[in-house]
Structure 1
Amino acid sequence: MLLDVNRKLFTRSDRVKGVDFHPTEPWLLTGLYNGTVNIYNHETGAIVKTFEVSEVPVRCVRFIPRKNWFVAGSDDFQLRVFNYNTHEKVTAFEAHPDYIRCLTVHPSASIVLTGSDDMTIRAWDWDKQWRCIQTYEGHTHYIMNIAISPKDPNTFASACLDRTVKMWSLGTSTANFTMEAHDKGVNYVEFYPGADKPYLVTASDDKTVKIWDYLSKSCVQTLESHTNNVLFAAFHPNLPLIISGGEDGTVKLWNSGTYRLENTLSYALERAWCLSVRKAVNEIAVGYDEGVVVVKLGRDEPTYSMDPSGKLIYTHTNEVLSANLQTVHAEELADGNRIQLSIKELGTTEIFATSLSHSPNGRFVTVVGDGEYIVYTALAWRNKAFGNGSSFAWAGDSNTYAVLEGRLKLRVYKNFRERTGAGMKGAGSWAIDGIHGGTLLGARGSGFVLFWDWETGEVVRRIEADAKNIFWSGTGSLVAICTEESYYVLRFDRDAYEAKLQEGVDISDEGVEEAFELIAEIPENIRTAKWVGDCLIYTNSANRLSYFVGSESYTITPFDTPLYLLGYIPAHNRVYLGDKDVNVYSYTLSLNMVEYQTAVLRGDMDGAAELLPSIPKEQRNKIATFLEGRGLKELAYEVTTDPDHKFDLALSLDDLDAAVEITRTVPELEAEVKWKAIGDRALTVWRFDLARESFEKAGDLSALMLLLLSTGDRDGLQKLAVQAEQKGQNNLAFATLLQLGDPNACVDLLVKTQRAPEAAMFARTYAPTKVPEAVQAWKSELTSKNRSKIAAKIADPIEQPESFEEGWEDAIAREKGEQQSPLPVNGASDSVPPVDDDEEDETAA
């Protein structure tokens, strides 16, 4: 099995006796021989949290994620529980009278099972204050491991140094049955995670790993390769692997189908003690004498292929499953919702598939993996052809395909027979990483992409690029070359290529430069992609579903987790995607909309107009946004069905009458913002009447005051002052009255709004006849606030005439004269004191 093995985390520490992955956080829990528990971020390698649990070894640790806890068992006989968020110790108690060797957390019940050197297993219920609800007896040596059955959570198995494996039920203190498993002590037991096999895997001090059928209690296979005690062995939940490790310091990967040793991993950290498998992705963690290692096995992307009719085929380990998306009722689908599919078992494949690919006509499916390829019939899943090959590519006619053997040997087949005499020119001169089918045969290597003509074998073009994938359109004219940082869309010009051939030009290894024209370069990292006509639909590394048409890309939707593109069904107008477990989701994308955009980009407005009626109404707004982005605002205004968008377009086109009509139809609360926008725009085009109407309906009195001042509308300002006072906008009302030259009204307004000190000061300068009234109001206000002493200190202009005698008559005469000649409407005098809203009585006194 050719499986990529990538080390993600390598950190040294004291001896690691227990490890566990958190199911949702990027955390790895480790229990150390020195009594410490560490939580690592296995993506960054940093220690997130540290707990000093005990002074003796911690031999087993597990997360309880639903409670935000972890539980640890140690050599001081104590079972301790900590909240890993708050660092609070939840509980600690003596669980056994001897070392606690192992523990496991029930997947659904509030139960922790512990195994000890006292030769018993005990069940603890945290919902019952950690009371021991059951003790299981029968083993005659140390209990080394406990595993709960994934098929029946009421059943668990135990491994013991008495050489046996026992099967138990939670409610019964005695074992259901016992298997004499090994010649020496059994260190580990684990269930097969699938539903199709009643298997257990065990690891022993006799240096072997065994697979058991626990129904028949028979040994299915014995795996021998370790040179010392084997301390753990487990089935991988997603890959056809058994992972084992032990005191020889190695971790071995076995094929769970053929039981062949596939790989041996050694990280020079002495003995391997414990294992945890992360189910969400293909990662394992191994604890050693000198540290911990996290390894990623293979890739997360599922192995699948969907033909143009909607038939989906995918693999799970060596099983081949199928579903038909064509039978899904598109009208019942909602964007982003998981689709319930009827899954069928199609068959099995002899190799572990790393890629699947349908032939263009959908009749055949090719499986590639383990350095081999097999071509199956899509309907009956019968073997049609096979051979050695690390990469496979179909031509456009479904009768021709190419196979890459190693990195230098390229074979071409037609009608399932190898084509002789017309090989690909210079194919053995380049080290090729992979080949890709389509109009031309593409090959990618380190720093180059090479295209050959299927029929002649001539080099069409060599392009310098570090590509990771190549996608040909169904029309055969466009190709996308994807790199780690961006993708390039090129147009293939066959006429230009053949013209050079007819001229008799000697085509070198570089091919014909005129054969390809660069259309666009988009800075996105494509994960999966499909061409639909001249539209490239793809998912990128930022978890977005997008499509490329013409020379630009457009986002359909973002999503939270990585999704992989399955295909597009035109009859449904939907894009189908799947996650790593091939749970299927869909999103709407009208092909007519894409064709409309293509016509607009090509300048074919007549063709676009013909397509417009066929576009669903729910897609019209996307079309309008596209047209607006292209500067076609008039057309966007006609197309859009969104009133807000239509309003914005009307404003930008200065079609204020249309904007007014739209605004009259919307609710009053929403209309205020629109009237304000209309008023602002009306001012810029000198439509003052419309601006005044808009500001009035928007209730924007400030803007209305400025407009009325600019136009010298005295009557309008008087009405505005009344309206502002009614709405409680007193500052605006005061400013309007001041602009009207009516100081008496200003004083009255200040008094009425409990601003008597400001009224008195203002009256002394601008309205002397109002001074007594203002002062009296001031005194009354202070008296009402129990500040009579301050009120008594305020000078009374009537009782103390000497304070006001000088110039009093002149002031009154001046006031009368000013009333005959009001203040200019266009502005107030610079000498007008500012109105301060904050009243400081004692300072005023």
Structure 2
Amino acid sequence: MTRCSRESHLVTKLTAHVPPPMLFEVNRKLFSRSERVKGVDFHPTEPWLLAGLYNGTVNIYNHETGAIVKTFEVSEVPVRCCKFIARKNWFVAGSDDFQLRVFNYNTHEKVAAFEAHPDYIRCLAVHPSAPIVITGSDDMTLKAWDWDKGWKNIQVYEGHSHFIMNICFNPKDSNTFATACLDRTVKMWSIGSSTANFTMDAHDKGVNSVDFYPGTDKPYLVTTGDDKTVKVWDYLSKSCVQTMEGHTNNVSFAVFHPNLPLIISGSEDGTVKIWNSGAYRIENTLSYALERAWCIALRKGANDVAFGFDEGVVVIKLGRDEPTFSMDPSGKLVFTRNQEVLSGNIQTIDAPTSDAADGSRLRFSSKEIGHTEIYASSLIHSPNGRFVTVVGDGEYITYTALAWRNKSFGNGLSFAWAPDSNTYAVLESKVKLKMYKNFKERGGNGMKGAGTWAIEGLHGGTLLGARGPGFVVFWEWETGEIVRRIDVDAKSVYWSGTGQLVAICADDAFYILHFHRDAYENALASGEVVTDEGIPEAFEIVSDVSDVVKTAKWIGDCFIYTTTTNRLAYFVGTESYSISPFDTPLYLLGYIPAHNRVYLADKDMNIHSYGLSLGVVEYQTAVLRHDMKGAAEILPTLPKDQLNKVARFLEGRGMKELALTVTTDPDHKFDLALQLDDLDTALEIARTVPELEAELKWKSLGDRALTAWRFDLARECFEKGNDLSALMLLLLSTGDREGLAALSAKAVEKGQNNLAFASLLQLGDANACVDLLIKTQRAPEAALFARTYAPGEIGKAVDAWHSELEAKKRPKIAATVAHPQKNGELFEESALVDVQ
């Protein structure tokens, strides 16, 4: 197949070139045996897969865990089709008893059930926005049902002459849909018309499925039939674009993948075939030994695909969800959608204001600049931004970044640029590494030892890095000498722009190393023999961090990265700091200094940003290097909204005095002042805080004042903080009787009766204690207390006790409580207990 879009001087070479197979992973996520599965559908937001079975049951699987989460006994005959209606929390199912049934999948309630056709309901489709379900039947008709009108039949479509097998809405015009029928035709319909817009004689035997191409550039359909073929059609010209042969039995389905340049088909021969939708060749054949394949579903926004077979259901993941992109230092972004290449400039985005919400989606315009003939697994800008290399399908193509014109191409599993942008390395196979300069292969011996190791990937930067199973090796670009081999099982390698630091990212951590070029060159100059291990002194480990890096970039000596746990962070000096978590996976694009923001993209290339001041990073770097003079020069230049962040950093480094002078957050300043025993500063802050918010501060300051032996300040704080318990202890320890008396009155006012009683008791005012007990409806305790400490108050206490009992209508109990004065008891003054 000729790659007609390349430059004319390359065409001759490429005409005879057969592109290698597409390189994408196929990972099985769910494998579950069951009765025959005739219909499957993914929920758009939950991790659920709907499966309609031949025994009349509908199951909902969690395709992440493989468990069945819900089961519905729908009918006693086969369920042939089922779909989610997620916006209503429903699913709808058609069965061989002619009934269309609707269930609420949350409550298990049957919402509706009615006879939709006088024969088997073989297929159905849910309109993407309108409240309409269209059903197709063995009665050779289609019907549209409106659930907002009580499932009223609003249209009947006639024209087919056999069983209707499949219905598909047009993604570019949801008012039209196509149908596949065993009468060997495909018809195109409009929702409001009972007759077809046009008919195509699609296959030599019955047609089993039809699906629309999801892109905007091709008016294509894919169909399958009992003639064992898969066909691609241009429905505007009604011409067959391609017939694909490979199945050995009736082909049940075929669909265009929405995110990958693939067509996926399944057959009664038991296999699923994956076709290249550009070259129309088989890329992979899958067999799960579950007998005939009947149905398929694609998960929106992901690369998950579900299949239904005679003996169960399978969910696979094709390729990866990560977008393919590259951004140069100036902010020019290049990314791909299938084989389309789009470009935009992050610099043109209006910089969010300082109070803009981090993580919010930004308005970003992009335009298509060309195509690439291979399915891109990675894009790599040259350091000067003039070229972009696309790697995929075992090949690489280098384009000019502005005009998107081919500059060079060849076989390659991996690619890496040198810092000068004129030199690059290509990994043609795991043991074959080639070097190029100015787009011509470089002569000489190449990289020493390269053919003796199995290399999995290349990484550009100050040194050429290559990783393999259990090792990373670094070479000098010009000489090909081994600088250092490091035993680590790495996933990626990132060099800083200064060329002094390198991050090696593994499966469970990343490591920051310092490259000492002087040590390396001195070792060579001294005549040291360079072995396959290189020069040990060339690298020194700075730090290892237990974060798992997903995407990363260096900004000077600051390493910014995203983690597998959906968090944005950066490493500077010897420590790592979090910027923000996020809800969905984001991928790091880069940093724009003029905006003081980090830019990221989601898998659909929607742009998000988070604030990060480069000045703050420089300040932190200076502090970590103990360059306090340099840090002091940077501090006045920092944005005011970043000072609190800097203060937290200083506090974490133990520099609390400096943090106190930097922070503008009153709460943080107050906490720092307490930690430093700067009570006057803390007092000044507490006096400026609103009364409702100040209570905790007064209590904290009072406790700290006690430890500093400042009793006067502690008393003021406890009074203003209403900490009466602490105040009582302070007054007791200082013997302040007047203060205790005032405290007891305040405690009574605030309803803290126990504390008021304790204060009065400490003052020796027994009569007041009795009065307080009576006032708080504790007359029995008042009587007993008075008997011991205030005999003259016994009568009052017993009277109160009688009143309480009578109020509770307990006269018999009241009669048993003797009144000492009425019973003639005499109390001598000498018998009184002196509690003064």
Q: What TM-score, normalized by structure 2, do the two folds share? A: 0.96
Are 1:740 and 2:757 matched, yes or no?
no
Are 1:546 and 2:546 matched, yes or no?
no
Q: Would the aligned equivalents of 1:479 and 1:492 in 2 still touch at CA under 8 Å? A: yes
Q: Which residue of 1 aligns with 2:526?
A: 503
Q: Secondary structure at the match of 1:581?
A: coil
Q: Secondary structure at the match of 2:416?
A: strand
Q: Would the aligned equivalents of 1:422 and 1:455 in 2 still touch at CA under 8 Å? A: no
Give the aligned residue type for 1:603.
H
- State the percentage of identical aligned residues: 74
Question: 1:281-320 alignment to 2 at 5 Å?
Answer: 281-320=302-341
Are 1:462 and 2:485 matched, yes or no?
yes
Q: Secondary structure at the match of 1:76?
A: coil
Q: Which residue of 1 aligns with 2:670?
A: 647
What is the alpha-carbon distance in structure 2 between the residues aligned to residue 615 and residue 215 of structure 1?
61
Segments of 4+ in structure 1 off by > 4 A?
A: none
Q: Secondary structure at the match of 1:610?
A: helix
What is the alpha-carbon distance in structure 2 between the residues aligned to residue 307 and residue 586 of structure 1?
17
What is the alpha-carbon distance in structure 1 between the residues aligned to residue 110 and residue 218 of structure 2?
41
| Cα deviations by residue, 1:15-55 (Å, 9 ceiling, x for unpaired) | 11111111111111111112221111111111112222222
Give the one of 602, 605, 608 matched to 1:582: 605
What is the alpha-carbon distance in structure 2 between the residues aligned to residue 269 and residue 463 of structure 1?
47
What is the alpha-carbon distance in structure 2 between the residues aligned to residue 677 and residue 418 of structure 1?
73
Give the one of 405, 409, 419 matched to 2:442: 419
Q: Secondary structure at the match of 2:834?
A: helix
Q: Which residue of 2 aligns with 1:681?
A: 704
Q: Would the aligned equivalents of 2:789 and 2:834 in 1 still touch at CA under 8 Å? A: no
Q: Which residue of 2 aligns with 1:475?
A: 498
Are 1:126 and 2:147 matched, yes or no?
yes
What is the alpha-carbon distance in structure 1 between the residues aligned to residue 816 and residue 195 of structure 2?
99
Q: Secondary structure at the match of 1:153?
A: strand
Q: Which residue of 1 aligns with 2:263?
A: 242
Shift of residue 444, structure 1, vs aligned partner: 0.5
Question: 1:749-788 alignment to 2 at 5 Å?
Answer: 749-788=772-811
Q: Would the aligned equivalents of 1:4 and 1:299 in 2 still touch at CA under 8 Å? A: yes
Are 1:813 and 2:836 matched, yes or no?
no
Are 1:115 and 2:136 matched, yes or no?
yes
What is the alpha-carbon distance in structure 2 between the residues aligned to residue 489 and residue 41 of structure 1?
40
Are 1:61 and 2:82 matched, yes or no?
yes
Give the one of 224, 238, 246 matched to 1:203: 224
Q: Secondary structure at the match of 2:819?
A: coil
What is the alpha-carbon distance in structure 2 between the residues aligned to residue 718 and residue 275 of structure 1?
84
| Cα deviations by residue, 1:659-700 (Å, 9 ceiling, x for unpaired) | 000111111011110000000111111111111110000011
Q: Secondary structure at the match of 1:276?
A: strand
What is the alpha-carbon distance in structure 2 between the residues aligned to residue 773 and residue 283 of structure 1?
85
Q: Which residue of 1 aligns with 2:29?
A: 8
Q: Which residue of 2 aligns with 1:829?
A: none
Q: Would the aligned equivalents of 1:238 and 1:279 in 2 still touch at CA under 8 Å? A: no
Are 1:523 and 2:523 matched, yes or no?
no
Q: Which residue of 2 aligns with 1:563?
A: 586
What is the alpha-carbon distance in structure 1 between the residues aligned to residue 822 and residue 552 of structure 2?
94
Shift of residue 245, structure 1, vs aligned partner: 1.0
| Cα deviations by residue, 1:249-290 (Å, 9 ceiling, x for unpaired) | 111111222222221112222111100011221110111111
Give the aligned residue type for 1:488.
Y
What is the alpha-carbon distance in structure 2 between the residues aligned to residue 90 and residue 329 of structure 1?
49
What is the alpha-carbon distance in structure 1 between the residues aligned to residue 281 and residue 648 of structure 2?
58
Q: Secondary structure at the match of 2:297?
A: strand
Give the aligned residue type for 1:353.
A
Question: 1:589-628 alignment to 2 at 5 Å?
Answer: 589-628=612-651
What is the alpha-carbon distance in structure 2 between the residues aligned to residue 570 and residue 361 of structure 1?
18
Question: 1:164-243 alignment to 2 at 5 Å?
Answer: 164-243=185-264
Q: Would the aligned equivalents of 1:318 and 1:348 in 2 still touch at CA under 8 Å? A: yes
Give the aligned residue type for 2:703.
D
Give the aligned residue type for 1:24.
T
Q: Note the residue ranges of structure 2 that are not aligned, 5 or more in a row.
A: 1-21
What is the alpha-carbon distance in structure 1 between the residues aligned to residue 733 and residue 112 of structure 2?
77
Shift of residue 161, structure 1, vs aligned partner: 0.5
Shift of residue 409, structure 1, vs aligned partner: 0.6
What is the alpha-carbon distance in structure 1 between the residues aligned to residue 589 and residue 670 of structure 2?
39
Give the one of 644, 647, 669 matched to 2:692: 669
| Cα deviations by residue, 1:376-410 (Å, 9 ceiling, x for unpaired) | 11111111111110100001111110000011110
Shift of residue 779, structure 1, vs aligned partner: 2.0
Are 1:47 and 2:68 matched, yes or no?
yes
What is the alpha-carbon distance in structure 1 between the residues aligned to residue 135 and residue 240 of structure 2?
27
What is the alpha-carbon distance in structure 2 between the residues aligned to residue 237 and residue 646 of structure 1?
55
Q: Note the residue ranges of structure 1 that are not aligned, 5 or more in a row.
A: 823-845
What is the alpha-carbon distance in structure 2 between the residues aligned to residue 327 and residue 434 of structure 1?
34
Shift of residue 778, structure 1, vs aligned partner: 2.1
Q: Secondary structure at the match of 1:45?
A: coil
Q: Would the aligned equivalents of 1:422 and 1:456 in 2 still touch at CA under 8 Å? A: no
Q: Secondary structure at the match of 1:720?
A: helix
Shift of residue 789, structure 1, vs aligned partner: 4.2
What is the alpha-carbon distance in structure 2 between the residues aligned to residue 726 and residue 492 of structure 1?
72
Give the aligned residue type for 2:631.
A
Give the aligned residue type for 2:830.
A
What is the alpha-carbon distance in structure 1 between the residues aligned to residue 831 and residue 426 of structure 2?
107
Q: Which residue of 2 aligns with 1:439?
A: 462
Question: 1:337-486 alignment to 2 at 5 Å?
Answer: 337-486=360-509
| Cα deviations by residue, 1:699-722 (Å, 9 ceiling, x for unpaired) | 111110011111111111011111
Q: Would the aligned equivalents of 2:131 and 2:148 in 1 still touch at CA under 8 Å? A: yes
Q: Secondary structure at the match of 1:302?
A: coil
What is the alpha-carbon distance in structure 2 between the residues aligned to residue 106 and residue 677 of structure 1?
63
Q: Secondary structure at the match of 2:193?
A: coil
Q: Would the aligned equivalents of 2:468 and 2:489 in 1 still touch at CA under 8 Å? A: yes
What is the alpha-carbon distance in structure 1 between the residues aligned to residue 309 and residue 505 of structure 2?
41
Q: Would the aligned equivalents of 2:464 and 2:476 in 1 still touch at CA under 8 Å? A: yes
Shift of residue 607, structure 1, vs aligned partner: 0.2
What is the alpha-carbon distance in structure 1 between the residues aligned to residue 344 and residue 643 of structure 2?
32
Between 1:621-630 and 1:50-59, the stretch displaced more is 50-59
| Cα deviations by residue, 1:173-225 (Å, 9 ceiling, x for unpaired) | 11111111111111001111122222111111111111122222222222222
Shift of residue 490, structure 1, vs aligned partner: 0.4
Give the one of 98, 101, 110 matched to 2:122: 101
What is the alpha-carbon distance in structure 2 between the residues aligned to residue 766 and residue 288 of structure 1?
91
Shift of residue 131, structure 1, vs aligned partner: 1.9
- State the Cα RMSD in Å: 1.2
Are 1:280 and 2:336 matched, yes or no?
no
| Cα deviations by residue, 1:467-522 (Å, 9 ceiling, x for unpaired) | 01000001001000001100011001111111111111211111111110000010
Q: Secondary structure at the match of 1:760?
A: helix
Q: What TM-score, normalized by structure 1, do the two folds share? A: 0.95
Give the aligned residue type for 1:471.
Y
Shift of residue 153, structure 1, vs aligned partner: 1.5
What is the alpha-carbon distance in structure 2 between the residues aligned to residue 656 and residue 152 of structure 1?
72
Are 1:77 and 2:98 matched, yes or no?
yes
What is the alpha-carbon distance in structure 2 between the residues aligned to residue 474 and residue 796 of structure 1?
96
What is the alpha-carbon distance in structure 1 between the residues aligned to residue 357 and residue 656 of structure 2?
31
| Cα deviations by residue, 1:770-824 (Å, 9 ceiling, x for unpaired) | 11111122222333444444434431222211xx34xx21xx3343x726xx2xx
What is the alpha-carbon distance in structure 2 between the residues aligned to residue 145 and residue 461 of structure 1?
61
Q: Secondary structure at the match of 1:490?
A: strand
Q: Secondary structure at the match of 1:351?
A: coil
| Cα deviations by residue, 1:218-244 (Å, 9 ceiling, x for unpaired) | 222222221211110101111111111
| Cα deviations by residue, 1:57-106 (Å, 9 ceiling, x for unpaired) | 11111111112221111111111222222222222221111111111111
